[in-house]
């Protein structure tokens, strides 16, 4: 069975939590595509060469979830050659037998426009900054908010595969939603699509 759930959205919108919950609930494989860009950035050296030589070992680094890695990932992600080097792996993962959930910025628009379910998960910049700040346990709030704004501007403003909702995506704004409520809405969507 091929069944792809594409989840896009800005940093700290809740898309990772929702993706993991969907994968668990429906027995789907999960790929956090942001980790690929984070691993490329943290490998150092020429980012294009790093993307072309990316290995499963690179995805196991302990520092990939740091604020620094996220910021660095956003910078290498503007390079079309980096994106191109990571495309085939993501496409194959998306269409693997048994179904998959992928979360990122361009899954429903570029990586898997044929996805059976597309969600665009978002929240206000202030809410996302607060989540990131609490989760990271480092930095100060004003700095994290400035980073969120800068990251949004870079991710939505780049020429190649910018962050945007696919025209056929369902938008889920989590600003005033609990995790449970957001997950329940996403599960209902997937369930309805699976039933056909």
- Least Å distance between CB 115 and ligand DC? 13
Among 106, 120, 131, 186, binds ligand DC (CB under 6 A): 106
Among 7, 14, 37, 50, binds ligand DC (CB under 6 A): 37
Using the minimum distance from each CB to ligand DC, give the nearer residue, 134 or 191.
134
Instruction: Measure the CA–CA gap between 20 and 1, rounded to whole angstroms.
Output: 20
- Least Å distance between CB 91 and ligand DC? 12
Using the minimum distance from each CB to ligand DC, give the nearer residue, 37 or 133.
37
CA dihedral of residues 131, 120, 153, 156 (deg, nearest 10): 160
Residue 151 touches ligand DC, criterion: CB under 6 A: yes
Instruction: Measure the CA–CA gap between 61 and 119, rounded to whole angstroms.
Output: 28
Residue 14 touches ligand DC, criterion: CB under 6 A: no
Among 14, 47, 99, 104, binds ligand DC (CB under 6 A): 104
Among 73, 94, 144, 148, binds ligand DC (CB under 6 A): 73
- Least Å distance between CB 132 and ligand DC? 9
Using the minimum distance from each CB to ligand DC, give the nearer residue, 99 or 104.
104
| 169 CB-near residues (< 8 Å, 6+ apart) | 6, 8, 108, 118, 119, 120
Instruction: Measure the CA–CA gap between 121 and 13, rounded to whole angstroms.
Output: 6
Inter-residue contact 117 to 102 (CB < 8 Å):
no
If you compute the radius of gyration of the chain from its CA atoms, what whole number of angstroms results? 16
In this structure, how many other beta carbons lie within 10 angstroms of the beta carbon of residue 182?
22
**Footprint of ligand DC on this chain (CB under 6 A)?**
11, 33-34, 37-38, 70, 73-74, 77, 104-106, 151, 155
């Amino acid at each position: 069975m091929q069944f792809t759930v594409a989840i896009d959205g800005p940093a700290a919108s809740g898309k990772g939590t929702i993706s993991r919950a969907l994968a668990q609930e429906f027995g789907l494989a999960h790929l956090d595509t942001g980790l690929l860009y984070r691993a490329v950035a943290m490998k150092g050296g020429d980012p294009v060469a790093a993307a072309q030589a990316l290995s499963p070992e690179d995805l196991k680094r302990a520092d990939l979830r740091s604020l620094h890695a996220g910021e660095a990932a956003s910078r290498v992600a503007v390079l079309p050659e980096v994106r191109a080097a990571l495309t085939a792996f993501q496409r194959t993962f998306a269409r693997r037998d048994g179904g998959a959930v992928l979360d990122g910025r361009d899954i429903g628009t570029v990586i898997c426009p044929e996805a059976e379910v597309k969600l665009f998960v978002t929240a206000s910049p202030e809410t996302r900054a607060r989540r990131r700040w609490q989760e990271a346990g480092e930095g100060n709030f004003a700095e994290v908010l400035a980073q969120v704004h800068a990251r949004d501007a870079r991710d939505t403003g780049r020429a190649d595969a910018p962050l945007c909702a696919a025209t056929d995506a369902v938008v889920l704004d989590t600003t005033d939603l609990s995790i449970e409520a957001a997950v329940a809405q996403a599960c209902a969507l997937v369930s309805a699509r699976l039933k056909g």
